[in-house]
A = this chain, B = another copy of it.
Amino acid sequence: MNIKFEEREELKEKIKDVNNLGFGQYFTDYMFLMNYDEDTGWHDARIVPYDNISLPPSAMCLHYGQTIFEGLKAYRNGDKVFLFRPDENFKRMNRSNDRLCIPPIDEEFMVEALKKLIDLERDWIPDSKEASLYIRPFVIAIDPKLGVHPSGSYLLMIILSPSGPYYKDGLAPIKIYVEDKYVRTVKGGLGTAKAGGNYAASLKSQVEAEEKGFSQVLWIDGVNRKYIEEVGSMNIFFVTEDEIMTPELSGSILPGITRKSIIELLKSEGKKVVERRISIEEILTLHKEGKLLEIFGTGTAAVISPVGELFYEGTEIIVNNGEIGEISNYLYNELTDIQWGRKKGPEGWQVEV
């Protein structure tokens, strides 16, 4: 498919202070759009000036949450620009699409379209070891009808947001509240898809945890209310002397691309990584016995988030004296070195633009 291009009359001023960009607040000059309807399929791929979109008040995405998204980043290393495994994002987008009854996209075409957009906007990518350009592909249902049924028409967009370092003062351990009241999702629901509704479901829990002084929540499963699932916007790993464990993809956990990359990285170095059901009680016991060395989260935003404290039903555990663990630190450096192209990563992980 050909990608049309509409040039802006005037470019915006770039933001100089990359440390104070925050996350997802500023947007670049251009965006990518593509429409779907039942007669033509996906069509009208175009790169146009970033601007508001016009939607009928009856557009299905505003009523029935038929929306999915992805998140990845472009990293600058001098004149070189890299994407990290973008094919994985569009593969996952198609899995989300399938669960939400959205027609599939051509994954290879989308990687090419993204590269074209990033190349056009390469001056927006912060020249920084920690700041980067956040990329948000998303699909919204736009049929102007209120019947509860999959939409017949969709809009796919990619917008770009130069974003600051997740940790302004360097990698720092976070405090996590284990959620015992709200449930994110269960097997059979939307949990494995990057669907808007999952995030809507998490808002109240996140707000209440912050009020209690925690920065994120850890979800436990909604059926048995004891198995660990994921952290607000990350997957989670536990380090013992023998192995590194992470909850298996049970049907209610988002299959993180950073999660997958960390598992592959650790395995390639001969580390024992286990994906299985992990109960919160097991973690408390391991901690009591002095066998729990580190906990860390993995995600696109923070890459690695060491967990310094975990709070569950009145019990507080301090992990690794509240300090950054050896493995967390190593993985953060290793993966960011690969993402920024400072080091060669496994085949296909670094896509130069």
Task: List chain A positions with a Cβ less than 8 A from chain B.
Answer: 22-25, 27, 31, 50, 52-58, 61-67, 69, 99-101, 134, 136, 138, 140, 144-150, 157, 159, 161, 181-190, 195-204, 206-207, 222-223, 232-233
Contact = CB atoms under 8 A, between A and B. Distances in A.
A64 to B, nearest CB: 4
Contacts of A134: 146
A188 B219 CA distance: 11
Contacts of A101: 203-204, 207
Contacts of A144: 25
State the main secondary structure of chain A at its contact with B: loop
28 contacts: A24-B58, A25-B146, A25-B147, A52-B54, A53-B56, A53-B57, A57-B159, A58-B136, A61-B62, A62-B138, A64-B199, A65-B199, A65-B200, A66-B196, A101-B204, A101-B207, A148-B202, A148-B233, A181-B188, A182-B188, A183-B188, A183-B189, A184-B189, A186-B223, A190-B201, A195-B197, A195-B200, A222-B222
Nearest to A65: B196
Contacts of A64: 196, 199-200, 203
B146 A161 contact: yes
A203 to B, nearest CB: 5
Contacts of A50: 57
Nearest to A64: B199
Nearest to A202: B148
B65 A57 contact: no
B57 A157 contact: yes
A61 to B, nearest CB: 6
